[in-house]
Structure 1
């Protein structure tokens, strides 16, 4: 899931007049609206040109701020992107609680499909996956954002299904996650195909059948 991008706040600028008269000793006062504008601009810039062509200058221009405002917060574009991806991971993903394995799997697919079809995420995620081969830090951040939180959710879904007697004890949550989300990611992020009517229902049924078959 991507964090909600704030509405573009126009052209915020940090000037001496914007800061309180008495700033905390040893620390700069950073306006939140400027920080939000920069974060929104990063998502837009990533979607427009990709990580390799993205620049601090382009981010600053899109956010309506000076380059200094960006560098006050992040030392490089890599640090900026890592911060944003980490924010996605920190949000986490709520575990579904429908009362049935099929319902939980279907709910998880709905959330994943919404995230993967997001107009920005659909362009940003594949690009960052390519860049992760060159930047191990990005790979680690993406794993935390896209995998770790979902592994936690998959573990909850499996545990509850085992408790209800819908799955055998010892069902592997990692395998469950592969079976549930893997085909959806392939279709939306790799093949970039549409989801026909009933696709998520059918995928949920297939995933549940595969999990029960062991």
Structure 2
């Protein structure tokens, strides 16, 4: 009887090849992004309380299973989306002057707040934050990493240039920077700002910060 010796080459030919996971084992990034976009649209359309996984899936053009593979519930989905937006943040202006930096920040922020989806989502999530501590924490983090974080960098730059005295009350300064525009566009819901408003706001806020 002839006994055939199996070589390494033979083994590599007969050993089953590992297949790249497919289907449920792979979370396609395009599907994930479609779901995230659908969350914003659904929040703007029906609000958090009436939002459902079924509605999100239908808007994203996927099955409910695709959503549940990524998030356990609509709460976790919304928390993830809010956190992702916070990480992206706003660009930090670097015009070389405090007033110029504030003017650019106000321009970018006002454009974002005028977006029809954003203008619907923010008040709704704030209302939910009063009832849900997890959403409240996520929104607080978004604010800290978003506009408040950028405002802090603007203040630090102004201190380094000698435009502000060292040791300015940071929390009060951020309130002065962020409060007026937020009040006008989110609370009072002014759709169209008066001509020259952002210039005047940047100039007045600069003067107030220098007086601290």
Shorter-chain TM-score bucket reads 0.7 to 0.9
* Structure 2 unpaired stretches of 5+: 1-17
> C-alpha separation between the residues in 1 aligned to 2:112 and 2:151?
17
Structure number with the higher helix fraction is 2
Local SS of the residue matching 2:25: coil
Q: What is the distance in 2 between the residues matched to 1:38 and 1:71?
A: 11
Matched residues in 1 for 2:42 and 2:193: separation? 27
Paired positions, count: 193
Aligned partners of 1:41 and 1:62 also within 8 Å: yes
Q: Which runs of 5+ in 1 are unaligned?
A: 1-19
Residues 151 and 173, structure 1, Cα contact 8 Å, conserved in 2? no
Indicate yes or no: 2:141 matched with 1:157. no
Aligned twin of 1:192: 189
Match of 1:206 among 201, 204, 207: 204
1:126 is matched with 123
Paired with 1:148 and 1:31, the residues of 2 have a C-alpha distance of: 28
1:68 is displaced (CA, Å) by 0.9
Q: CA deviation at 1:119?
A: 1.3
- 1:172 positional shift: 2.1
What is the RMSD of the two structures over their aligned residues, measured on CA atoms? 1.7
Q: TM-score, normalised by structure 1?
A: 0.85
1:93 — aligned with what?
90
Matches of 1:113 and 1:172, distance apart in 2: 25
Q: Confirm or deny: 8 A CA contact 2:126 2:136 kept in the other structure.
A: yes
* Greater C-alpha Rg: 2
Shift of 1:91: 0.8
Whole-angstrom distance in 2 between the partners of 1:30 and 1:64? 15
Q: Would you say the 8 A contact 1:151–1:174 is kept in 2?
A: no
Out of 67, 71, 87, the position equivalent to 2:68 is 71
> Which one of the candidate residues 100, 104, 108 is aligned to 2:101?
104
Q: Verify the 8 A CA contact 2:107 2:198 in the aligned structure 1.
A: yes
Distance in 2 of aligned mates of 1:85 and 1:174: 23
Q: Secondary structure at the match of 2:163?
A: coil
2:21 pairs with 1:23: yes
Q: Which 4+ stretches in 1 moved above 2 angstroms?
A: 146-152
